[in-house]
Amino acid sequence: MIRDITVTIKFLLLTFLLAVSVYYTTYYIISPNKLSENTILYLSSAVLQAYAALIAIPFAIAAIHLQSKYGYVFTNILFKRVKPVLMIYTFIAILSVFSMILSPNQELRPYVLTVEVLTALIPIWYFIGYLRNIILLKPTDIMHDLGYPDAPAKLLTQGKVYDAWNVIYQGFELARSCLLDPALHVQVSIIIRQIVESFYKIDWSSEVREERSTGSLDISGLLFNILWYLPTHIVDPIRSSTLKPDPIHVRSLIAGISRAFISSMKKGYPQIFDEFLEQVYKLAISYYETNEERAWEIFNSVLTTVESGLKSSDEKKAIVEKYVLPRVLCCGLQIYNQAYESTRTRITDFEELKVSFWLSNLLKVLERYPVLLFHMPCLERLVDAIEKDSKINMVNIAQILGILALCSHEKSKLPEYMRERAEYIINSLNKKVLEILNKNKWVVRLEDKYLRVSSKNGAYGQIEIGNKNVQMVVEEYLHTLLRE
């Protein structure tokens, strides 16, 4: 910064000295009456043409570059950047015209020539910087020109929902262009991070709506558009790219969209959230191929965000409990099953534990909220996962036993229309658990505060049950289950 200021000061000083030299030479050596009127006219014309070319050529090159690299939509960024240049050029044109008008006056010619020389030299420094910025225009510069990360939230507070969506859409377009171009890959994480920051600044619970002759758009519609363009602009390019962006920023993006959904949720449930979970599944599997921990973090960002919705108002809590969170758990089971199948060709003890860890974390959510089990639309997927995991880990069998004990206890509290389904779910899982226990000759018992599943060779898996009331529920359930 200091170096740039120093160079600028030196340039202005040299320009001033040159102007003084021109004036001195013209007035005292050449003399005004020997200075031709045509000299000023030619100089003014040359200055206008030179600066017109200096604007037009880089502008045309930059427009072609932006169109080919980022798409037609980003040429408007170039128009914003060229506005100050056009203002300066207009000022140069005005001075040049005045120089031409005053050139017949011999007494004023030295002054006019001096002004014209200054007009020709002083803007050069600015135009060189303009040319350099156009040539070196980066995606992060475009994001800055779009107003990220503050612009979408500010536009929404002004009721400009369409303009806010336009800014978000252009951010998605830029992210897609960078994902598809290996040379711009280093910029992707920065762009995604700024998009995420813009999401967190938006009040998704607001009731803002913009009416236009072509239709209307509100916050829910804005979120719908984001979820609609997520596959084509973010997910598919990431899956097809060997150079993937930092999963931390991808995780933040998924968490931000999940948070927006929970905040904007009113009555009803947008079905496109199911499509959103499908995109989460694709992202997690895409990262699982190279980094299992990161894959879990991407999915877990949805799980933890949606689970926090259970602390919302009663209306939102009911939707999260009955519809949203059960489907998130089904998405997690889908990822688990895919991860299990992918590890069969490269199975090791370490890989087995990683896969089992995934299921264990899903079961922990059911331990905290056992009623979710009655709303899960993927019972077969859960049964399949329990059977597969029984070959890897005995702890998860203990977990599912604890969950079934709590569900059996909660069954009587359900509305009458739910009891039949709850009975079917519990019986189906009971049957599968008993089949696994008998097949492996495992023993289940409640010892002190631990629910333990053990084998004849001494191996065991256990979970802690610290609450005495829960211990009584588990003991009663085991007595009924094992008697069968």
Range name among 26-30, 213-217, 390-394, 415-419 with the lowest pLDDT average: 26-30
* 142 assigned to some structural domain: no
Q: CA-CA-CA-CA torsion for 349, 354, 355, 358, nearest 10 degrees?
A: 150
Q: Which residue in 190, 185, 60, 69 sits closest to 134, CA to CA?
A: 60
* 241 assigned to some structural domain: no
> Do 225 and 196 belong together in one domain?
yes
* 152 assigned to some structural domain: yes
* 80 assigned to some structural domain: yes
Most confident of 65-74, 350-359, 451-460: 451-460
* 352 assigned to some structural domain: yes
Range name among 151-165, 289-303, 324-338, 344-358 with the lowest pLDDT average: 344-358
Query: How far apart (Å, rounded) are the C-alpha atoms in residues 443 and 355?
Result: 24
* Averaged pLDDT, 297-301: 92
* Averaged pLDDT, 249-259: 93
Q: Measured at the alpha carbon of residue 168, what is the angle toward residues 166 and 173, in degrees to the nearest 5?
A: 90
> Do 271 and 329 belong together in one domain?
yes
pLDDT of residue 163: 94
Which pTM does this prediction carry? 0.80
Q: pLDDT tens for residues 28-37?
A: 545 555 556 6
* Averaged pLDDT, 243-269: 84
pLDDT of residue 381: 93
> Do 316 and 445 belong together in one domain?
no
* 271 assigned to some structural domain: yes
Burial class (CB in 10 A: 0-12, 13-18, 19+), 37: middle
pLDDT of residue 99: 79
Half-sphere exposure of 436 (CA within 13 A, CB side): 26
> Do 254 and 341 belong together in one domain?
yes
| pLDDT higher than threshold 60 for residue 369 | yes
Range name among 91-105, 314-328, 366-380, 461-475 with the lowest pLDDT average: 91-105
How crowded is residue 345: how many other Cβ atoms within 10 Å of its Cβ?
A: 6
Helix (H, G, I), strand (E, B) or coil at 205: coil
Q: pLDDT tens for residues 303-326?
A: 999 998 888 777 788 888 888 999
Q: pLDDT tens for residues 426-484?
A: 999 999 999 999 998 999 988 888 999 998 888 888 898 878 888 899 899 998 887 75
Q: Which residue range(s) make up the domain with 478?
A: 401-484
> Do 253 and 376 belong together in one domain?
yes
Considering just the CA atoms, what is the radius of gyration of the chain in Å? 35
Model confidence at 343, pLDDT cuts 50, 70, 90, reads low
> Do 197 and 63 belong together in one domain?
no
Q: pLDDT tens for residues 162-177?
A: 999 999 999 999 999 8
pLDDT of residue 3: 53
Query: How far apart (Å, rounded) are the C-alpha atoms in residues 443 and 448?
Result: 16
| pLDDT higher than threshold 60 for residue 70 | yes
The answer to whether residues 344 and 359 touch, using CB atoms and an 8 Å cutoff, is no
Query: How far apart (Å, rounded) are the C-alpha atoms in residues 166 and 146?
Result: 10
Per DSSP, which regions of 331-476 are E strands? 443-447, 450-454, 460-464
| pLDDT higher than threshold 80 for residue 75 | no
How many domains would you assign to the chain? 4
Among 137, 159, 178, the domain-final residue is 137
Angle between the N-to-C axes of helices 416-440 and 468-483, in degrees from 0 to 180, rounded to the nearest 10: 70
Among 340, 358, 393, the domain-final residue is 393
| pLDDT higher than threshold 50 for residue 208 | yes
Among 339, 370, 393, the domain-final residue is 393
> Do 164 and 118 belong together in one domain?
no
Q: pLDDT tens for residues 119-153?
A: 777 777 777 777 777 777 788 888 988 899 999 99
Model confidence at 349, pLDDT cuts 50, 70, 90, reads low
Model confidence at 117, pLDDT cuts 50, 70, 90, reads confident
Query: How far apart (Å, rounded) are the C-alpha atoms in residues 420 and 369?
Result: 19
> Do 230 and 268 belong together in one domain?
no
* 213 assigned to some structural domain: no
pLDDT of residue 268: 47
- 443-447: strand order across its sheet: 443-447, 450-454, 460-464
> Do 381 and 266 belong together in one domain?
yes
- State the average pLDDT for the chain: 83
The answer to whether residues 170 and 74 touch, using CB atoms and an 8 Å cutoff, is yes
> Do 425 and 484 belong together in one domain?
yes
pLDDT of residue 282: 93
> Do 76 and 173 belong together in one domain?
no
Percent of the chain residues topping a pLDDT of 70: 87
Most confident of 1-5, 186-190, 352-356: 186-190
Type of residue at 455: S
pLDDT of residue 123: 79
Percent of the chain residues topping a pLDDT of 90: 36
Contacts of 41 (CB under 8 A, 6+ apart): 100, 103
* 378 assigned to some structural domain: yes
pLDDT of residue 267: 46
> Do 64 and 87 belong together in one domain?
yes
Question: Higher pLDDT residue, 484 or 192?
Answer: 192
